Amino acid sequence: MRFIEFGPEKKQVSVIGVGCMRIAGLDDTKARELVDTALDAGINFFDHADIYGGGRSEQIFGRLFAADPSLRDKMFLQSKCGIRNGMFDFSKEYILEAVDGILSRLQTDHLDSLLLHRPDVLMEPEEVQEAFDELYKAGKVRAFGVSNENRFQMELLKTAVKYPLCADQIQMSLAHTPVIDAGLNVNMADAPAIMRDGGTLEYCRINDMAVQCWSPLQTGYFQGVFLNKEEYKDLNAKLQEIADEKNTAPDVIAYAWLLRIPAKMQVVTGTSTPARVAAAAKAADICLSRREWYDLYKAAGNRLP
């Protein structure tokens, strides 16, 4: 497993993470198997959000911690807040309330990282700073970040927020590459040249922020995975070819493609199947060549200028 340094405390956090959105339906025994499999594979990064399963995903982890308190110290535990009843809410009052609920459900006294969950147009940076300040000084949150934000939204936050933004969690996969496309098609009059994100990837690299890729096998916005999809037959053929050469599986190569980008890349897997989590961990040990990386990018239907 490979690790990045995360946040002011320079925590060693695995480049592969377990996304906990889909674990709400697991019983405690299966959830413990998933956690143990991840830890045995060197994965220590577990990503939650207060809305996952309506809070049930966090409650499951809370029961695991209650049954075995030693588990908590083996993890880098992250959660997110800000999505509320059909709107977004970054008010100080709600952030504080949300974090208290998260900690209660998780049965822990702190989060290693808290992300603001999607942008809130009505955000007041001063309120966010006040909330972050209370949470940090109370020992409830060790590091802060955002999700799905562009460089200007992060810059706006930083007009008041004094704590470093340590991560931006964005949708990114071989079949969803707008953060890459515009950078390859600068000043061109075609669709890939449209900058949809404001240079998020470059901004995170400049500011030493982790780029956490959610839905790393997804095509579009919750339109299913691209693996074995006829629409992506060229991509799947290339993934299989490289996987065969490296004695691994196509999904592992798809994760390795994201990790090849020279930034603080992290892949947040969405599976709740232990075997798939164990397989995903192998991506950390694969370094694709430049040729392999670009061949996969083109096989996904992209044209280089």
pLDDT in tens, the chain (305 residues): 999 999 999 999 999 999 999 999 999 999 999 999 999 999 999 999 999 999 999 999 999 999 999 999 999 999 999 999 999 999 999 999 999 999 999 999 999 999 999 999 999 999 999 999 999 999 999 999 999 999 999 999 999 999 999 999 999 999 999 999 999 999 889 999 999 998 999 999 999 999 999 999 999 887 899 999 999 999 999 999 999 999 999 999 999 999 999 999 999 999 999 999 999 999 999 999 999 999 999 999 999 99
Q: Report which residue type is found at 53.
A: G
In a domain, 304, yes or no: no
CA dihedral 295, 194, 211, 213 (to 10 degrees): -60
In a domain, 202, yes or no: yes
Per-residue pLDDT at 27: 97
**Quick check: is 163 catalytic?**
no
Structure tokens of 203? 């901004």
The Cα–Cα gap between 41 and 274 comes to 10
Per-residue pLDDT at 97: 98
The answer to whether 54 and 249 are in contact (CB under 8 A) is no
The Cα–Cα gap between 283 and 213 comes to 14
β-sheet bridge partners, residue 6? 11
Range of the domain at 160: 3-299
Output phi, psi for 6, to 5 deg: -120, 125
The Cα–Cα gap between 71 and 138 comes to 22
Tally of domains in the chain: 1
In a domain, 241, yes or no: yes
The answer to whether 34 and 25 are in contact (CB under 8 A) is no
- 52, 163, 203, 232: the catalytic one is 52
Going by C-alpha positions, the residue among 213, 228, 142 that lies closest to residue 178 is 213
Q: Rounded to the nearest 10 degrees, what angle do helices 92-106 and 56-67 cross at?
A: 40
In a domain, 246, yes or no: yes
Residues 6 or more apart whose CB falls under 8 angstroms from that of 122 comprise: 88, 90
In a domain, 39, yes or no: yes
In a domain, 169, yes or no: yes
Give the C-alpha distances (Å, rounded to integers) separating 2 from 5, 75, 179, 221.
Answer: 10, 15, 24, 29
Give the pTM.
0.96
In a domain, 305, yes or no: no
Residue 276's SS3 state is helix
Query: Can you spell out the DSSP letters for 80-91?
Result: EE-EETTEE---
CATH of the domain at 220: 3.20.20.100
Query: Which residue has 């970054």 as its token pair?
Result: 90
In a domain, 106, yes or no: yes
Structure tokens of 95? 């952030």
Radius of gyration from C-alpha coordinates of the chain: 19
Per-residue pLDDT at 221: 81
